[in-house]
Structure 1
Amino acid sequence: MSRAEVKQLIGVKDVARIVLGWGAFAALLILHPLLEPPVPAPVLVIALAVIVAVILVCAFGVVTQAEALAHRLGDPYGSLVLTLSIVLIEVILISAVMLGPGEHATIARDSVMAVAMIILNLVIGLALLLGGMRHRGMAHNRTGTSAYLSMLVVLVALAFGLPALIGVDGSYATAQEIPIIILTLVLYAFFLFRQMGAQAGDFTEVDTRSPQRSPREERTGIRQVLAAHRAEVIVRLALLVVTVIPIVLLSHDMAALLDDGLGRLGAPVALAGVLIAGIVFLPESITAVRAALGGEVQRVVNLCHGALVSTVGLTIPAVLVIGIATGQTVVLAESPANLLMLGVTLLLSVTTFAAKRVTAMHGAAHLVTFAIYVVVLFS
């Protein structure tokens, strides 16, 4: 690819977003002493408003690159690029926090729980509600969706349910952690292997007008695309990653400000985790809603369910390995109320996507479930 072609792919807006995101992160580092709690209320409000504004601007840049990659690569490959980019950065940051000073026994549990509720109820609910109202009913690929939900039932049970029953004070014993790590990673790796290989067709949009392609044709198709457009894919992937990193860094750096502000308002501590998780996955959320408005409900499934499968499948083994290596206690068991909400959410998800066509009513049920989760947070 020539320099002129690269310049066509990297626009002025892309450069401006990157400069804005990294510039805001650098400014936050410089001003860190001034933002140590307790921060004066006007300064706190202004700082949070600026950070959220920068994140929103960068998020639309991520969405632009993700949609271009999805159009070029097709699903499930296009959705995987965005999902894995965000999830891997999130896992690295959680791991870095655990390796830092202080006790962080519940960080993985709280973070993944917040992500699960936001993705499975808020984002999917909003996408199905808006998409269902525009398109009445949307058909999805039930084989691929069932594969996601099967993974989630097992991974969520291993992560949050089982340690409450066989662990000690909500934590697995070392002898239990090792098989859990191995089984989780093997299952997740096998899932990715099948999704990107023989079963790639199970994660594409339903189109009754065109015949289904064989697994060999699917693999040949993606190889041809990569061979013909390798430079474009690399440039867009680099732009996506460079734009998404400031979003994650800024959202985690604003955690202390949120804790301070919510503490003054008397809000529950867990609410900060929910807000941060929502901001981290903002690019994916915007992409999912836009896909639903375009009638691409399978892309919504790939983005949302795929993100949660990757989050649980990578975060839990990572923190358990760090816990073993550093001697830290990793508390994974959830409270009875949160376990109930997880169970209701998974049951609702299975019921929703068992239907041939998902509708606005399904979306409304998911949104109400998220609202109930918020009530539980304040209880």
Structure 2
Amino acid sequence: MRSVLTRTAVLRLVLGWGFFAALLALAPLLDGHLPTPVLWLVLAAIVAVIVVCAFGVVTEAEHLAKRLGDPYGTLVLTLSIAAIEVILISAVMLGPGEHATIARDSVMAVSMIILNLVIGIALVVGGIRHPDRRANRTGVVGYLGVLVVLLAVAFAIPALLGAGGAYPPAVAIAVIVLVVLLYGFFLFRQLGARKADFQEVDAVPDAGDATPSSSVVRVLVAHRSELIARTLLLVALALPIVLLSHDMATLLDEGLGRLGAPVALSGILIAMIVFLPETITTVRAALGGEMQRVSNLCHGALVSTAGLTIPAVLTIGLLTGQTVVLAESPANLVLLALTLLLTAVTFAGHRVNPLHGAAHLVLFLLYGVVVFV
């Protein structure tokens, strides 16, 4: 327990839950019209606490990842991040005001941040430091195959089948079922027969494994107490994020409205807040020459985000009667298509190339230009 409940972990718990209690006590004062400087100060404090708690979630997920090994361990990390993203988007949708495009803007921002900004940085730093390293191409192709379908379902097909970029209710139900089945089958294959496709190319398989999951079973038996404690701590750190997300969404919507900022900026800020800890983890993996871990963290996180967000927001839309606009603009669709094409070229090579990383970064900057123009 001492190795799990460290001083830093306790401080994060106290900060997250203490700040939430303080907001509850001050709720009558915050419900009125706040001066703009006070609004941004409170919003900055909420975001800071969410980021601190998110780092705690990622830290515990990383410890679990080291115990369980890839792809099981990395999946814990990516699912934790994706779950936080879904929670924040859901909080915005269930909060006051109209947020018909928040899911589209957030998932699009996540796609551009992960596929271009994070991978671009990882390829530059990893390619310069470890020019002979490469990812497991079979695993990357598996990710891309699923991503092409999920992102098309999210951004392209709604423009063809729906009115105003939103799926009709009957089509939305079918999309929910199909996306859940595809994502479930992907996880089944990733954690089962195709586990080796998502490990480092020079990883030595354990010949003693009777089944693909036997090593994980041994870890669960040998480190049961630690794994349970870290899982409970992860949940305890994630709950303040859930509870604070509603206030963050309300204040962010109000603050951006006063600034006259683009609507899509809200989704971008949510994505950047959520994926900051995983960005740092990915860069560390690249510096260590773990290029397949880079792919697992980035591509796996995007598969989980799309695979969880699309069914979640469509379900909320059906239950609440809200319109969920998913269809993207032609400019963003072109950027997304270029990103997927560049990703396929990048990871098809025999080694990582910093030049490809620079190209990814340029695409991310072009996305920023499109958002503000």
Gap change, CA 1:178 and 1:291, over 3 Å in 2:
same
How many residues get paired? Answer: 373
Deviations 1:21-79 (A, max 9, x none): 22223323433454458533442443344334434433443343232222111111111
- State the distance in 2 between where 1:56 and 1:319 align: 23
Aligned residue identity for 1:310? S
Q: Alignment RMSD, CA only?
A: 2.5
Aligned partner of 2:213 in structure 1 is 219
Aligned partner of 1:194 in structure 2 is 189
Is the CA contact 1:86–1:244 (under 8 Å) kept in the aligned structure 2? no
Aligned residue identity for 1:345? T
Aligned partner of 1:372 in structure 2 is 366
Is the CA contact 2:101–2:324 (under 8 Å) kept in the aligned structure 1? yes
- State the distance in 2 between where 1:22 and 1:64 align: 18
Aligned partner of 1:242 in structure 2 is 236
Is the CA contact 2:131–2:351 (under 8 Å) kept in the aligned structure 1? no
Gap change, CA 1:228 and 1:374, over 3 Å in 2:
same
Match of 2:120 among 98, 109, 125: 125
Aligned partner of 1:15 in structure 2 is 10
- 1:225-304 superposed matches below 5 A: 225-247=219-241, 249-250=243-244, 253-304=247-298
Is the CA contact 1:38–1:260 (under 8 Å) kept in the aligned structure 2? no
Residue 362 in 1 paired to residue 356 in 2? yes
Is the CA contact 1:90–1:248 (under 8 Å) kept in the aligned structure 2? no
Residue 88 in 1 paired to residue 79 in 2? no
- State the distance in 1 between where 2:120 and 2:217 align: 35
SS in 1 for 2:121: helix
Gap change, CA 1:337 and 1:32, over 3 Å in 2:
farther
- 1:35-184 superposed matches below 5 A: 35=30, 39-99=34-94, 102-184=97-179
Aligned partner of 1:31 in structure 2 is 26
- State the distance in 2 between where 1:325 and 1:52 align: 29
Residue 192 of structure 1 and its aligned partner are, at CA, apart by 0.5
Aligned residue identity for 1:113? M
- State the distance in 2 between where 1:318 and 1:295 align: 35
Q: Percent same amino acid at aligned positions?
A: 66
- State the distance in 1 between where 2:242 and 2:58 align: 15
Is the CA contact 1:37–1:256 (under 8 Å) kept in the aligned structure 2? no
Gap change, CA 1:87 and 1:184, over 3 Å in 2:
same
- State the distance in 2 between where 1:30 and 1:57 align: 21
Gap change, CA 1:245 and 1:106, over 3 Å in 2:
same
Gap change, CA 1:54 and 1:326, over 3 Å in 2:
closer
Aligned residue identity for 1:336? P
Aligned partner of 2:202 in structure 1 is 207
Aligned partner of 1:315 in structure 2 is 309
Deviations 1:336-374 (A, max 9, x none): 122122112211211111122222222211111111111
Is the CA contact 1:163–1:171 (under 8 Å) kept in the aligned structure 2? yes
Is the CA contact 1:345–1:369 (under 8 Å) kept in the aligned structure 2? yes
